[in-house]
Amino acid sequence: MRRKKLALAAGFCLAFLLGTLLNLLCVPGFDHHQQQLQNGVTPVPLIAASRQGKGSSQDLLKQLQERYKEVIRYREHQAPVSATVRLLLRPLERRLMDLAQRSSENVHKPENSKSSIPDLSPVSPLSSKIDVSLRPPLLSCQDITNGSNVRYLGSGYTKAVYKLVLNDTVSVALKSVDFGGHDIQNCVQLYRNLEDCYRLASFKIVKEMILLQRLQHPNILQLYGYCYQDSNDISDTLTTITELGSPLEMIQLLQSSWEDRFRICLSLVRLLHYLAHSPLGSITLLDFRPRQFVIVDGELKVTDLDDASMDGTSCSSNADCFMEFPARNFTLQCSVEGKCQNMNEKRNLYNAYRFFFTYLLPHSAPSSLRPLLDSIVNATGELRWGIDETLAQFEKILYMYKNGLYLPNITHAPMAGYEYKQVADISIAEEDYRCWPSYHHNGCLLSVFNINEAIKICESHSQCQAFVWTNQTTWTGRQLVFFKAGSRNLVPDIDKITYLKLTS
């Protein structure tokens, strides 16, 4: 049985690796040459322009103007915010405010402050600084200066990410343009101007900062503040201060419990439902890959929004509404208004299917829930459902799982002549055996809805001779139970109950 389960787990991992490789090799999303032209630069001085030649200067200036217009468009897109959507300060945010130890008058004083609330009047695209804070920042340059234990975490095409510890207690993430990244390097090779290449690349961070403020949702990373400061002989380089998450490791997720994997998928679906109905309209994540997400307290959160888009696709016929993916293609309807119907929503949903649902949803799920999970996988893989129906089905499964409606409606009847003796305030030291999937690497720790489910699991495991009812619960409120291979090492343990298997 153990070898069979290990082989099954290895098979899942191999399938995931092969599928991910195919997706990454065939993904149609990003042309690096196009990103060269779009991503890379900031304001271009006239001295550099004369050295490069008129053509290069005009091309760079055009890119700056287009990127600037995009930033302003996202900044000025006004939408009413209802009282129900308005976010209250979360506990961590209140803690960050306490850690800052400065009065609100000092934080938001416009004099000599590089993180002051902006004047929303248009500014020149060649300005060295664009200040687009839509609400008072919790953290600023002073907090970065006072922080400690700065550690490099990683980088992508444009940005580098660092970890910073505030007052030795709270960790945050710092994002800034990566001077050694492909974006800057390709631009500098083309235009020979580091400062202006930085300016263009920094517009992507500005856009992301705007979106992190406008799109308020539990599954979107929180923006705590930002800082303009001089760096690398460049004035007013921008650093954003955000919530810190853990990288999404798909191989580890495949080895985790189905309950945790379902939570990741549910977080994603709730996020995509919000993006489809956001205050800015329907938003698509153009660079939709697992590396664009992080885990915060077990919840999935999107961290990169610089490649998000609220633009719809114009069309004159259905043929213009063509979506191409590695495994298959789709043609959507062209509306009478000349827009492809739900293209942003459908693109997000199919990417969720191919990167997440197909790997994380069905495997090791409760048997009675598998038909519902298979329906979700099949319907999203065919794009027969929209995000509203997909979310409704996820919430239905969550309700059934939390309330034990997936279990057979029977009370426990002793099987194979076994009965159980209950011993309060007692646990069992060691005497563990491994099962999969488990919340404990060296033991068999599973979640159950009630005592009947725990007994059923114990009787299905040949090694199980007892189980310990802990005082811990999962995110769904289900009880964590340790299944044991013996009961020789009984030890006192308050608030735990041990069930010993007896032979009649």
pLDDT band at 499 (very low <50, low <70, confident <90, very high): very high
Instruction: Answer yes or no: 287 catalytic.
Output: yes
pLDDT band at 240 (very low <50, low <70, confident <90, very high): very high
Higher per-residue pLDDT: 250 or 233: 250
Which of 287, 304, 306, 307 is catalytic? The answer is 287
| Tens digit of each residue's pLDDT (9 = 90 or more) over 120-146 | 334 444 455 665 666 777 898 999 999
> Apex CA 387: angle with CA 381 and CA 393, to 5°?
80
Res 50: pLDDT: 33
Res 34: pLDDT: 33
Higher per-residue pLDDT: 168 or 474: 474
Q: pTM to 2 decimals?
A: 0.79
Rounded Cα distance, 216 and 286, in Å: 19
The CATH number of 418-503, from 2.60.40.790, 3.40.640.10, 3.50.4.10, 3.40.1410.10, is 3.50.4.10
Query: Helix 370-381 and helix 387-402: axis angle, to 10°?
Result: 170
- Whether 247-402 and 32-76+125-244 are alike in CATH topology: the answer is no
Cα-Cα end-to-end distance for the chain = 26
Backbone φ and ψ of 364, nearest 5°: 60, 20
Query: 357 pLDDT exceeds 70?
Result: yes
Domain coordinates in residue numbering, the chain: 32-76+125-244, 247-402, 418-503
Which CATH topology does 247-402 take?
Transferase(Phosphotransferase); domain 1 (1.10.510)
Rounded Cα distance, 200 and 433, in Å: 57
| Tens digit of each residue's pLDDT (9 = 90 or more) over 471-493 | 899 999 999 999 999 999 999 99
Query: 24 pLDDT exceeds 70?
Result: no
| Tens digit of each residue's pLDDT (9 = 90 or more) over 57-81 | 678 788 887 888 888 888 777 544 4
Backbone φ and ψ of 8, nearest 5°: -65, -45
In the chain, the amino acid numbered 333 is Q
Q: Would strands 299-302 and 293-296 be described as parallel, antiparallel, or unpaired?
A: antiparallel
Contact 176, 209 (CB under 8 A): no
Q: Using DSSP, state whether 41 is helix, strand or coil.
A: strand
In the chain, the amino acid numbered 477 is G
Res 327: pLDDT: 85
CATH number 3.40.50.10490 given to 32-76+125-244 = no
Contact 467, 473 (CB under 8 A): no
Residue found under tokens 């921008």: 238
- Nearest Cα neighbor of 341 from 270, 276, 273, 285 is 276
